[in-house]
Amino acid sequence: MTGDWQRTACSLCYLNCGLEVQLDGQKITRVRGDKAHPRSGGYLCQKAQRLTWYGDHEDRLTTPLRRRPDGTHEPIDWDTALTEIAAKLHAIRDADTAAGRPGSFAYVGGGGQGNHSGGAYGAALLKWMNSTRHFNALSQEKTGDFWVNGHLFGSTIVHTAEDVEHCDLLVVLGCNPWQAHGFSNARHALNTLKNDPSRRMIVIDPRRTETAELADLHLPLRPGTDATCWARSWRCCWSGVPPTSSSSPPGPRVSTRSPPCWRKCRWTGGSRTPKCPVWTSSGPST
């Protein structure tokens, strides 16, 4: 029998959108966005809409598995699993202490994306094991993000999120937020941006993605030319002087003069009138 709607949060990515679920005992039967949620306001992406598919998948593990000597696995109950794991952790910790060495234990995972409780539990476990060896998906996926944070804010763990909802110009470089998200209410934010004539979106991606379909300009770069494109874009934006008249284009420190890169830029085609969408306020040239 299906019960009332219960409020919870999606843990499939770091946005943690508010959800409402209907339960039949322990089983989720229906999912919808929580309109009262302060951040997501009822938004739900296709991953959360398919929560029942993930939760009820036939390959899902429903009990701990213990490896047998021949490499196959056998199901065991939780009490047995936890007791055996605790005994092994105690043995490793005791051996480290007796040898006078730092913890030889390493923790992989936890706190990587939407389910943050693993991070807290993992940190407590590492501390008890006297180890600092913690690895997770962010070690690979977000190394550059942490590096930039360190240089911008003085600490690699100061993390900011893009203010896509309020930007004048969104540049999407090599990703497809229509499908992969990465910022709050992605599809709603992209549609709002597309329908606002005072805002623009540029997608730089070899593939014409769903996000590129919505963009004012899709720039399908040839592989290996990303760095050149980026360097020229920055030069275009930052080499001028601040606007001095009301007719000056919007944006950060753009110049009323021709950008230095216009002669070679494929967007302007050598025109003396810059048509670069980063540069002008009259709309992009495709």
Q: How far is it, in rounded angstroms, from Cα 191 to Cα 169? A: 14
For 49, the enclosing helix (H) or strand (E) is helix 46-49
Q: How far is it, in rounded angstroms, from Cα 253 to Cα 238? A: 6
Identify which range of 14-22, 145-153, 254-262, 271-279 contacts ligand SF4 by CB under 6 A. 14-22
- Of 5, 8, 13, 37, which lies in the binding site for ligand SF4, with binding defined by CB under 6 A? 13
The tokens 């300009």 sit on which residue? 217
CB 267 within 8 A of CB 236: no
Task: Indicate whether 16 belongs to the interface with ligand SF4 (CB under 6 A).
Answer: yes
Residue 246 vs residues 119, 250, 277, 285: alpha-carbon distances, Å: 50, 9, 18, 22
User: CB-wise, 181 or 218, nearer to ligand SF4?
Assistant: 181
Binding mask 112-141 for ligand SF4 (x = CB under 6 A): --x---------------------------
The token duo for 144 is: 């550059």
Rg (CA), the chain: 26
Closest separation in Å from C-beta 16 to ligand SF4:
5
Task: Indicate whether 181 belongs to the interface with ligand SF4 (CB under 6 A).
Answer: yes
DSSP state string for 64-125 = -EEE-TTS-EEE--HHHHHHHHHHHHHHHHHHHHHHT-----EEE-SSSSS-THHHHHHHHH
User: CB-wise, 12 or 76, nearer to ligand SF4?
Assistant: 12
Kindly determine how many residues on this chain lie close enough to bind ligand SF4 according to the rule CB under 6 A.
12
Task: Indicate whether 187 belongs to the interface with ligand SF4 (CB under 6 A).
Answer: no
Identify which range of 43-51, 103-111, 131-139, 191-199 contacts ligand SF4 by CB under 6 A. 43-51
The tokens 């060896």 sit on which residue? 133
CB 190 within 8 A of CB 201: yes
CB 160 within 8 A of CB 149: yes
Task: Indicate whether 45 belongs to the interface with ligand SF4 (CB under 6 A).
Answer: yes
Task: Indicate whether 48 belongs to the interface with ligand SF4 (CB under 6 A).
Answer: yes
Identify which range of 5-13, 94-102, 165-173, 229-237 contacts ligand SF4 by CB under 6 A. 5-13
Residues near 67 by beta carbon (within 8 Å), at least 6 away in sequence: 73
Task: Indicate whether 209 belongs to the interface with ligand SF4 (CB under 6 A).
Answer: no
Task: Indicate whether 268 belongs to the interface with ligand SF4 (CB under 6 A).
Answer: no
Closest separation in Å from C-beta 195 to ligand SF4:
21
Task: Indicate whether 31 belongs to the interface with ligand SF4 (CB under 6 A).
Answer: no
DSSP-based three-state secondary structure for 153: helix
User: CB-wise, 47 or 93, nearer to ligand SF4?
Assistant: 47
> Which residues form the interface with ligand SF4 (CB under 6 A)?
10, 12-13, 15-17, 44-45, 47-48, 114, 181
